[in-house]
Amino acid sequence: MHTTQRPDTDTMPGAIVASALGLGIDAGGTYTDAVIYDLANRSLLAKAKALTTYHDLSEGVRMALRMLPPHYIAEARICSLSTTLATNAVVEHRGGSVGLIVLAPWDWFADDIGHAPAVRVPGAVDASGDVIEPLDEAACRAAALLLTADHRVEAVAIAGYGLVRNPEMANRAREIVRSVTAVPIVCAHEVTRRLNGVQAARTAVANARLLPVIDSLLRSVASGLAHEGFQGRLMVVRGDGTPMSESVARDRPIETLLSGPAASVSGARVLTGLANAMVMDIGGTTTDCAILTDGHVNVSPAGAHVGGQVMSVDVADICTTGLGGDSRIDFDRDRILRIGPKRNVPLCSLAAAHPPIKEFVTGFEWRHTRAATDASALDVLMLGSPLARVWTAQEQAILDALQEGPVPALELARTLRSPHYRLLPTERLEQAGAIKRGGLTPTDILHAAGDFSRWDAEAAGAALGVFAAMYGRAADELLHSIRLLLTRRLFDEAIRREAITCGMTRAQVPPEWTPLLDRAFGGTAGSLRLGITMDRPIVAIGAPAALLAPAIAEHMGVEVVVPPDADVANAVGAIAGDVVVREEAVICADAVAGFLVHLTDRRIRARDLETATETARRLTEDRALARSREAGAVDPRVVVCDVDRTAPSAEGDAVFLERTVRATASGPAFAHAMEAAH
């Protein structure tokens, strides 16, 4: 737990004149950050940082709040929260039980979705939204009773083929389900506008499963805020970095996927004032890279890739790699150093909190360094999130042995009479999050080098010495090699992000580039001299950014900017980012005559493409402006653009398929806070 804050020159509430205070909170993978931000004067007044509590995110939130000046919290009128909870829940398949009603013309459609319990109900529309099979209302009522009475689901999702182009059948199905049950109902067309019916159904199921998860979090956070004196409005950051109201977040929690990384982009823009840059968020668990263009980050056209599935929701176009301050440092039999992607608890933090762990590291039995093929002899095991599961006798013995605190793997093996510490059955426990592992991390390296002093630098130095002995190098040489590898990983990540932006179709630098990148990174030895430059600057944020990112500029022609308060940029972005609202309409040719305008809630017929386009532009612009003002935007401006999709004809001409009209309304955030201040 750690906190820093700005000097308190005018700290009494009465001294705050013509200001509008907002509270930003980011519950990240390693830390939970909280900031007090003056929305009127665009300045950071106070900040706090606490360790994220995985078993209950609200606990970490409350710890961070207690470190902020209480009179600022009482003055704040808006709180905006970014959270990893939805992302983690989808990955871990946690949440409420969901029944699915599928409206589609084929039996196999429900099978492709891969969810149970699911019931196909007769009733379907085609890709144009025309009804090809009327809804069987009796079958729909029977399906609702089966799911809620027999399977006892906690929510019902309604999805099907083509419903995004004509939601009337789904809306009628919802009325029928609502007539027989009081459980929440989620319609796929309300959580996604993408036409892919299978992905839309999976997104609706995930949204329904998340309803109790996000509801519990928001209730807990609201309670904690009230306890600390906050009396304002709670908002939640979407995965595209824009805020939404608490009520919308409760209805559509799926939209909070990846909200943390998205908030970081907004924070980078606010702290630097740069509208065009690469944002590199170096956290405890991952490094996230995004491109900021004209003040906004692009929305990923493919949706959110989470837990091996694609969720059809708008998220910021961000590349993520498993590299952060808490990434595991290890080596293999060939003495190749590895950093990440696994996350470990830094040994320096464990030693600071648990004296027996410091004794273990500083008094390490050097015989265990002989013929080491990796660094696992340094590992420490500890309890993670408490889980109600059935474990084997050996697994339960491990959990019991860790009840009093972290234990080195070597000692745990002796206690449990295991032949070797590598034979401890920890795999299932770690996958489920029941236990965590401590080891050498970049955070330890920064402590050992004297660059960081948050925890126990002596223990970090001792751990580096043990690792060096296992690896077979002097400690100072190993320290240099690890720091160089960290810089190389960030160098590669920057190039990969930029290459994707320039049109690459896969999220990896081609293997053929590696020798050239080696030469560019390693200098000018030999006759081949290579250099890489980037026109846009790199804005580096996150707790270790100031210590790790500047070295990139030594190997690449690029400006690296680490703004003040980079360590809490995500929380700043959560509260200070612009409100951005997008509305979309799709125009297709009608099978009978004229054109159809497909909106979120209905279809409108038009006699020609020009009339259809005018209608779509007017309605999307009005809706985007209304929603942005409702979300708190100050004097929002709107931009409307058209994107046509065509296909070549046999004669080589372009044949019109559809036109997408997109209206984007944006403005400075949280008018409600401004009005309350004045």
pLDDT for 298 equals 77
Report yes or no: 23 and 76 within 8 Å, Cβ to Cβ: yes
Written in H, E and C, the secondary structure of 343-390 is ECEEHHHHHHHCHHHHHHHHCCCHHHHCCCCCCHHHCEEEECCCCCCC
- pLDDT on residue 276: 92
Give yes or no for a contact between 415 and 521, defined as CB atoms under 8 angstroms apart: no
Q: Across the chain, what does the average pLDDT equal?
A: 85
Distance CA 250, CA 144 (A): 22
Where the chain has pLDDT below 50, the residues are 1-17
DSSP 72: H
Q: Which helix (H) or strand (E) holds 199?
A: helix 197-227
CA–CA dist 357, 513 (Å, integer): 43
Of 561, 602, 607, 608, which Cα lies nearest the Cα of 585?
Answer: 602
How high is the pLDDT of residue 7?
Answer: 33
Beta strands in 556-675 (DSSP E): 560-561, 579-589, 595-598, 603-606, 637-648, 654-667
For residue 11, the model assigns a pLDDT of 35
Exposed / middle / buried, residue 514 (Cβ in 10 Å: 0-12, 13-18, 19+)? exposed
DSSP per residue over 280-330, as a string?
EEE-SS-EEEEEEETTEEPBPTT-EEETTEEE-S--B-EEEES-STTEEEE
Q: Which residues lie closer than 8 Å to 415 by C-beta, 6 or more apart?
A: 401, 407
Q: Note the pLDDT of residue 5.
A: 34
State both tokens at 524: 């000018």
For 119: left if phi > 0, alpha if psi spans -120 to 50, otherwise beta; the answer is beta
What local confidence, expressed as pLDDT, does residue 262 receive? 84
Q: Which residue type, as a one-letter code, is found at position 270?
A: V
Residue 344 CA neighbour count, 13 Å, CB half: 26
- What CA–CA distance (Å, rounded) separates 500 from 507? 7
Of 188, 197, 170, the closest CA to residue 98 belongs to 188
pLDDT value, residue 139: 94
The β-bridge partners of 557 are: 533
Give the pairing type, strands 538-541 and 277-282. parallel
Residues near 92 by beta carbon (within 8 Å), at least 6 away in sequence = 307, 433
H or E segment at 537? none
Burial of 39: CB neighbours in 10 Å, binned 0-12, 13-18, 19+: buried
Give me the helix-helix angle, 514-522 and 475-501, nearest 10°. 120
Count of beta carbons in the 10 Å neighbourhood of residue 1: 15
Which pTM value belongs to this model?
A: 0.78
Name the E strands within 492-549. 538-541
Residue 519: CB atoms within 10 Å: 16
Spell out the domain ranges in the chain. 98-207, 578-677
Predicted local distance difference test score (pLDDT) of residue 19: 61
Q: Strand runs (DSSP E) across 512-571, as ranges?
A: 538-541, 560-561
Q: Alpha carbon of 502 to those of 66, 302, 492, 514, 518: distances in Å? A: 45, 17, 15, 18, 21
